Structure 1
Amino acid sequence: MTRAKRGGTPADDAARTEAKPSAAPESPCAAATRRPGRPRNEALESTIIESVLDLLEHDVPLADLSMERIAKEAGVGKATVYRRWSGKAGLMLDVMRSLEEENPELPGESVRDDLVLLLEFLRRRGLAKRNSALLRTVITQVKAQPELWREYHDTVVQARRDALLAVLRRGIGSGEIRGDCDIDVLADLFVAPMLSRALLHEWKELPEGLAEQIVDTVLDGVRPRT
């Protein structure tokens, strides 16, 4: 991912004159919801997100990141931040999403090839986590906030699993996978070896070809019996 460089914009100057909206106690889900109806300024939002990443990269604990401190680091008014995120939980979700790659586009022609693409995405994600101190820092700090981590899981991680389940259902429908397989267990059989190496046994390699090896091994065991 290419991180945006920080810098002032004309929108920053105008935003400094705005008053902070009244803030009410928020739930994690409400905090993750952007305020409706405000105009988008993607450059300004990128500047704010980049500022959060810079603070985390310099070992500032998530608990110490107030909206006021984030606004100061970004060089904008506090009201500018509150107009885009009702609270820190919603902002941190977007910070996490900024470190994500888009899910791979699946051609939909071959169940086997689509499964390989999804597992290759996980392999590259695991390599990125190993190679990026910033990504490790952000993930570690967000995991320490259970409600925030749950929201991230429900909006980002679940989307990846849903894509995998859709491919498996297609494989069952086409007869490439046995219909008596529990689809949730089947999904775990495909992703668990990759996640085990990426997250639990980080000293193990994630070599090229691993996605193909996992997919072919599992498919060999779940093809229709003759």
Structure 2
Amino acid sequence: MNPVKDNAADSAEQQPGGVAPRTADDAPGPAGDAPQVPSARPRGRPRSATVERAILDTTLRLIGEQGSVGALSIEAVAQQAGVGKATIYRRWPNKEALVIAAVEAAEEPIPELDGENVRDDLVRLLEAMRANLVGRRGEGLVAMVLTEVHQHPELYRRYHEVVIERRREAMRVVLRRGIATGELRADLPVELMRDLLAAPMLIRKLVHETEVPAELPRQVVDAVLRGIAGTEPEAELG
């Protein structure tokens, strides 16, 4: 059975007056019985995670194939996700809202950082960034968002809030901790260093359209730290 195909429960949301059909749970008990305690389960169709995941995955795939929000259509998403258009519109009011939800869903969580040393934490952050750039769900997403910034400013605002700023803040915290512990130079320009660390992967992916090798995060961190490390970490880097 297709996990995302509309089912009979979906039609419950479309009953006149918005009332779902009675079920066995709603049936009255024998005469004289105490009133039935209402079930905690919501009436009608639940917001199925399986259905939503299929819709969002399909949206991301089509964005990667078509390269723009303008080329995307709700009809195409519905057809390829195996749902009706009404199923999509019940969750998202328009195409831009759907794309924003897909962008948010594509972002992997910030990795756990052990805080033992700046180098390892920076490598983990850049590895997570690389995974989003080259992963199946994130492929083509960054380029699409950047090209749509003027046509769809709300899309870019949400991408900046959910993706860019979260990553920037995580890196900012690590760099400031490194300054506090003496691992990094006290006069380090944190905002500039954060951009220097992230730029090589973005340039390879978006400007040169070349592969982003798995070893690049480590190479970038080690190269940058040789210039900004305090005296003790610099000796460790050799």
TM-score normalized with structure 1 length: 0.70
Aligned Cα RMSD in Å? 3.5
| 1:44-74 Cα deviation digits (max 9, x unpaired) | 3223324434654664963354556655665
In the other structure, the counterpart of 2:13 is 15
| 1:1-51 Cα deviation digits (max 9, x unpaired) | xxx96323444232344789xxxxxxxxxxxxxxxxxx6432232233244
Matched, 1:198 2:205: yes
Aligned counterparts, 1:179-198, within 5 A = 179-198=186-205
Structure number with the bigger relative contact order (C-alpha 8 A, sep ≥ 6) is 1
In the other structure, the counterpart of 2:223 is 217
Question: Could you say what secondary structure the match of 1:63 adopts?
Answer: coil
Query: Tell me, which stretches of 5 or more residues in structure 1 are unaligned?
Result: 21-38
Shift of 1:116: 0.8
Aligned counterparts, 1:29-178, within 5 A = 40-53=47-60, 55-56=62-63, 59=66, 62-63=69-70, 65=72, 67=74, 70=77, 74-76=82-84, 78=86, 80-128=87-135, 135-136=139-140, 138-146=141-149, 147=153, 148-178=155-185
Shift of 1:167: 0.7
| 1:121-166 Cα deviation digits (max 9, x unpaired) | 23333433xxx59832x55544443211232122212111111111
Question: Could you say what secondary structure the match of 1:13 adopts?
Answer: helix
Does the CA contact (< 8 Å) of 1:126 and 1:199 recur in 2? no
Question: Could you say what secondary structure the match of 1:178 adopts?
Answer: coil
Query: Tell me, which stretches of 5 or more residues in structure 2 are unaligned?
Result: 19-45, 233-238
In the other structure, the counterpart of 1:23 is none
Q: Work out the number of aligned pairs and report it.
A: 200
Q: 1:193 to 1:18 in 2, by over 3 A?
A: farther
Q: Of the candidates 4, 23, 46, which is equivalent to residue 6 of structure 1?
A: 4
Larger radius of gyration: 2
Amino acid at match of 2:197: F
Q: 1:139 to 1:7 in 2, by over 3 A?
A: farther
Amino acid at match of 1:75: V
Moved more, 92-101 or 4-13: 4-13
In the other structure, the counterpart of 1:36 is none
Q: Alignment identity in percent?
A: 38
Shift of 1:176: 0.8
Does the CA contact (< 8 Å) of 2:204 and 2:212 recur in 1? yes
TM-score normalized with structure 2 length: 0.67
Shift of 1:198: 2.5
